[in-house]
A and B are shown apart, each in its own frame.
Chain A
Amino acid sequence: MTILVIAEHDNKVLAPATLNTVAAAAKIGGDIHVLVAGQNVGAVAEAAAKIAGVSKVLAADNAAYAHQLPENVAPLVAELGAGYSHILAAATSNGKNILPRVAAQLDVDQISEIVSVESADTFKRPIYAGNAIATVQSTAAIKVITVRATGFDPVAAEGGSAAVEAVAAVHNAGTSSFVGEELAKSDRPELTAAKIVVSGGRGMQNGDNFKHLYALADKLGAAVGASRAAVDAGFVPNDMQVGQTGKIVAPQLYIAVGISGAIQHLAGMKDSKVIVAINKDEEAPIFQVADYGLVADLFEAVPELEKLV
């Protein structure tokens, strides 16, 4: 068995989610190859070659792959993937965008967002916003799978010494083109990789009040997240949203501030090791999953918390 892992990167840096995906591949067992498709990806390919357990890196370096357009990348993955037993990608926006297109081209069903590997053909994945866990078995010759990063501890980024092989194949479907992008800037740790996450909800009342959470987060070295209510109200940008439709996080400590705890929000954070809820409504559903609950006005509790930690 040989497994192809699609590297997650921005043409400059290999994203940590790749390490979790390789960890899932290692659990399946077999040779692990990593595909780095992009433009000027030399440094990313070198980083991928150092990942523990990776035996070969395929580097497809072409302007057609620069922005990970699925119309161009999916045919490449489908072509290369034909010789593999498994094709894995992280369940990031790129992975979710590209991999189903690959699966359909290979005429196999995909298994999305696995959280555990039971055997080489059987996997567990959450359904119904995490309210049920399905065990799915695949009889496909090539198993196409996206991996939920929080379900797997990352493998070491160093220690491997895989050979880097250039891939010449160029696919340019010509049906799509990149126009531009607007990335949110942040000095805090990345939400999905942070050890501590502080999240605010509708109870924050406005965007300005998020400064209390930023101050607390900076003291804790934490990332800041938000509920859908806070994003919809325009308090913070959408890439901060934690939940079924946003990001899935599983930090050591999750502090939910002014968040009621709707099913869709819980789907994104209920695998956190320790959950703290600060809410003035003692009936809020968030208290049912919180390890430590504090019924208090957040505008008094959060500054006090910041002082004490």
Chain B
Amino acid sequence: MKVLVAVKRVVDYNVKVRVKADNSGVDLANVKMSMNPFCEIAVEEAVRLKEKGVATEIVVVSIGPTTAQEQLRTALALGADRAVLVESAEDLTSLAVAKLLKAVVDKEQPQLVILGKQAIDSDNNQTGQMLAALTGYGQGTFASKVEVSGDSVAVTREIDGGAQTVSLKLPAIVTTDLRLNEPRYASLPNIMKAKKKPLEVLTPDALGVSTASTNKTVKVEAPAARSAGIKVKSVAELVEKLKNEAKVI
């Protein structure tokens, strides 16, 4: 079966971001960008499904600027067969991304679509669920285990109180949680080979999708800084401070 994986180019998770002085956003000039960690897990899962003989082809798709080709090449080096970039310089909302992905799903007709559960920049946790709504497919969000058998997929999900398993009819949407797998690293030969794999570039216009949004970011500011704390010398002093100064115990 064909598996479609969506990946996003985001600021590297180790970077401590800074808010711009004019409060228009976060300063991303000259900041290291990477594949969103949850998307890496999605690619890894697809590759493992292929290694198990469940998946026959992995198509990786990204929606974003021209530079997102770097993340698509990374996914190709990890084992994806071909890539699609829907190029858009704008900052798209989750709904716009889900609509564009829906158009790609219509075109590619995958049996399984794997996304990360959330992107570490916008922290929205929406796109997979929205894509499921638009396609009418079942959704297995926050997956920690994915097992395809016949025409259904069993997804074990991380929920607030523990774990839940649901069975979904294929085609279906799965979003990955951290514990689904440990992503591999791309080897140098595979990085070289990935340069020759096909990468198709599309535009929202060509897909006939409007990316208009009902949300507008008015302002981005730094969170309130915590006042500097103190170091205590002993447990006794700590308990004394908690009881008499902070009055929390």
Residues of A within 8 A of B (CB): 67, 69-71, 74, 92-94, 96-105, 107-113, 122, 126-140, 173-184, 192, 196, 220, 228, 231-232, 237-239, 244-245, 247, 252-253, 263-264, 270, 273-276, 282, 287, 289-296, 301, 304-305, 308-309
Q: Are A131 and B230 in contact (CB under 8 A)?
A: no
A residues in contact with B221, CB < 8 Å: 132-133, 135
Give min CB distance, B44 to chain A, whole Å. Answer: 15
Give the CA-CA distance A289 to B167 in the complex, in Å: 43
Give min CB distance, B151 to chain A, whole Å. Answer: 12
Residue in chain B with minimal CB distance to A308: B239
Q: Are A71 and B222 in contact (CB under 8 A)?
A: no
Q: Are B232 and A292 in contact (CB under 8 A)?
A: yes
Give the CA-CA distance A130 to B161 in the complex, in Å: 24
Q: Are B133 and A100 in contact (CB under 8 A)?
A: yes
Give the CA-CA distance A275 to B246 in the complex, in Å: 10
Q: Are A136 and B216 in contact (CB under 8 A)?
A: yes
Give the CA-CA distance A74 to B136 in the complex, in Å: 11
Q: Are B232 and A293 in contact (CB under 8 A)?
A: yes
Query: At the interface, yes or no: B62 with Cβ under 8 Å from chain A?
Result: no
A residues in contact with B249, CB < 8 Å: 196, 220, 253, 309
Partner of B162, one of A108, A177, A239, A270: A239
Partner of A179, one of B165, B223, B227: B165
Give the CA-CA distance A274 to B230 in the complex, in Å: 12
Give the CA-CA distance A71 to B124 in the complex, in Å: 20
Q: Are A97 and B160 in contact (CB under 8 A)?
A: no
Q: Are B223 and A183 in contact (CB under 8 A)?
A: no
Q: Are B241 and A183 in contact (CB under 8 A)?
A: no
Q: Mark B168-182, 1 if CB is under 8 A from A, else 0.
A: 110010000111000
Q: Are A96 and B141 in contact (CB under 8 A)?
A: yes
B residues in contact with A184, CB < 8 Å: 161-162
A residues in contact with B71, CB < 8 Å: none
Give the CA-CA distance A113 to B91 in the complex, in Å: 19
B interface bracket (residues with beta carbon within 8 Å of A): 35 or more
Residue in chain B with minimal CB distance to A176: B138
A residues in contact with B159, CB < 8 Å: 93-94, 181, 239
Q: Are A110 and B126 in contact (CB under 8 A)?
A: yes
Known: A182-B162, A253-B248. A109 touches B219 (CB 8 A): no
Residues of B within 8 A of A (CB): 11, 13-14, 16-17, 19, 26, 93-95, 98, 117-118, 120-134, 136-139, 141-142, 144, 154, 157-169, 172, 177-179, 213-223, 226-227, 229-232, 234-236, 238-239, 241-242, 246, 248-249
Q: Are A109 and B94 in contact (CB under 8 A)?
A: yes
B residues in contact with A294, CB < 8 Å: 231-232, 234-235, 238
Give the CA-CA distance A75 to B121 in the complex, in Å: 29
Give the CA-CA distance A282 to B232 in the complex, in Å: 12
A residues in contact with B248, CB < 8 Å: 196, 252-253, 273-274
Q: A126-B123, A135-B217, A173-B136 are in contact. List 15 more A-B contacts (CB 8 A).
A: A92-B160, A93-B157, A100-B125, A100-B128, A101-B129, A110-B130, A127-B121, A132-B220, A173-B138, A175-B138, A181-B163, A182-B162, A182-B164, A263-B14, A274-B248
Q: Are A133 and B122 in contact (CB under 8 A)?
A: no
Q: Are A93 and B215 in contact (CB under 8 A)?
A: no
Q: Are B166 and A179 in contact (CB under 8 A)?
A: yes
A residues in contact with B232, CB < 8 Å: 292-294
Partner of A131, one of B136, B223, B241: B223
Q: Are A139 and B123 in contact (CB under 8 A)?
A: no
